[in-house]
Amino acid sequence: MEVLKGIAVSPGIAIGEVFVVDDERRRIPRRTVPAAQVAAEKARAEQAVRDSVSELAALRDRTAGELGEEAAKIFAFHLGMLADRSLTGPLLAQIEREGVTAEFAVWTAMELLASRFAAMPDAAFRTKVDDVRDLSGRVLRHLIGEHASRLHTLRHRAVVVARDLTPSQAAAFDRGHVIGFVTEMGGRTSHTAIFARALGIPAVVGCAGVSAHVTDGAAIVIDGDEGTVVVDPTEEQLAAYQVRIERARLLRLSLAELATLPSVTRDGHRIELMGNIELPDEIPAVLEHGGEGVGLFRTEFLYLTSDHEPTEEEQYQAYASCVRQLAGRPLTVRTLDLGADKYTQAQQEEPERNPFLGCRSIRYCLQSLPMFKRQLRAILRASAQGPLKVMFPLITSTTEFRQARFILNDVMDDLEDEGIKFDRNVQVGMMVEVPSAAIMADAFAREADFFSIGTNDLVQYTLAVDRTNERVASLYNPGHPAVIRLIREVVRAAGRHDIPLSVCGEAAGETEHALLLIGLGVRTLSATSSSIPRLKRLVRSVELSQCERLAKKAAQLDSEVAVTGFLRDGARKIIPEAFDGRSADE
């Protein structure tokens, strides 16, 4: 039995069997298999070598035809190594002798060969190191790809363990059998963490070294409430977790009864609860949980979960589907927030060294006008079918907002000329998620139709903490006094100019931070669908004056530790069941 600690990002407890997804670009951890599986691992290794030989032969022949025989000779070294029994023989023997996985044996054999070439005095041999690493990646891709394809044919309850996962990988999970996942990388507000909450499955990220501690098929428990991972749990531990699972089930049943009740405080103040979605098929869950509409449609997930850039028509169908499903309820569509992600960085000839401070979000869109206009056309076309708002992300200056709005008006003119219907009076707002926007909220409020505070990025840029970096996760805190002051100023600016304001970051779905936000004057919270019932319970359990007193006291504290403790104590007194199973200092 081994207990590992990570970052809790999607609530719930999952008990299942490990399914490891490796990354051929990284060191493959040493993992063993049962004796009965050794022959199968040897067969996998041999098949991966044969597949690599076939692939290389096809590349050689195509290169010879297109560039000539001389150019095709580059593949001769690779083919020669795979045909050399002095390489393949020892790796098969290692599997037989040590019972290791095919992936580890291949990686070990290739790394040993690379180190031998690197140690040779002749420069001609040292240049072969890159060839060996390239060949290693090729063989491992066949092994890892073949293994990962089993995710689609699982017949057991699997917990996926990986160094990292992309949203497209998570979207492809068989939701009937993948019941949770653990990654070594990531933070609370990384794309994969957000998608886990959307899927409604428990997840733990930032769990350092977890891949090296597990083997396919091993029993595992992941606790998405506390961020704990238990490998090979004892019977006593399993029993304790089963009790917590049953307790959570009963809580969900009691919260479900609130779905049709109004979101009103005990003293009669209405707090609007909206849903955050990544894909249109999440809307039924938002409505089922009592959401009053969609406060944030993260449209970049249409890109991140696809193998191609969605066409205008594909995007239109997605947006129109949302409008139809909401049946008159509001939909706020955020334009693409791409750039600081693997999708766009992988397409650049030279990936940015610091993409979070680079060409991302609205900057990326303003530099990619054909793509941006395709999206705006699709959004506007969908606006003809029902209430829809357009929201621009990561606005840092009035110039950016005006540029984006000018392009939107330009697209409107084009649609009008083409005789295509749309809502000419569509509301246009902006995310407030960087300090410059918060500080200049008064100026923005004169131009935007509405504000939505994105706490994920606002915390990141205010505190200079990469929100996807597990190494600094402890520094990422929406309760930091600086963040509270910025939010308070934005709320006041929106009030002075009488424009609607919501909060749609992950903090809006957290009980203790929701109390603070309501006390600061926020009247619309937008969160994942699974958070809505708990938020409604909170709203219906408090008086506005309670929240205002709590916010006033929190604003006087000078450290995020003091604020977090104070907010948690206050929330625990009001809705103690929200913290069942969680330690007081968590």
Strand stretches in 368-449, DSSP E: 389-392, 427-432
Provide the residue type at 225 as one letter.
D
Distance CA(131)–CA(116), nearest Å, equals 13
308 is catalytic: no
The catalytic residue among 207, 322, 365, 504 is 504
8 Å CB contact between 286 and 275: yes
Two tokens, residue 534: 């708990």
Neighbours of 465 (CB within 10 A): 18
8 Å CB contact between 456 and 340: no
Place of tokens 């063989």: 139
> What is the distance between the terminal CA atoms of the chain, rounded to a whole angstrom?
23
Q: Enumerate long-range contacts of 569-575, CB under 8 Å, 24 or more apart.
A: 570/512, 570/515, 571/511, 571/512, 571/515, 571/538, 574/515, 574/538, 574/541, 574/542, 574/546, 575/511, 575/534, 575/537, 575/538, 575/541
8 Å CB contact between 184 and 165: no
> CA–CA distance from 368 to each of 343, 380, 404, 414 (Å)?
15, 18, 12, 18
Q: Strands 203-205 and 178-183: what pairing?
A: parallel
Q: Strands 203-205 and 7-10: what pairing?
A: antiparallel
Dihedral angle, C-alpha 112, 114, 117, 119, nearest 10 °: -70
191 is catalytic: yes
What angle do helix axes 369-383 and 312-326 make, rounded to 10 degrees? 30
8 Å CB contact between 376 and 422: no
What angle do helix axes 511-520 and 544-554 make, rounded to 10 degrees? 90
The catalytic residue among 191, 213, 480, 513 is 191
Closest CA to 485 of 441, 445, 450: 441
DSSP lists the bridge partners of residue 277 as 297
8 Å CB contact between 22 and 188: no
- Which positions are annotated as active-site residues? 191, 504
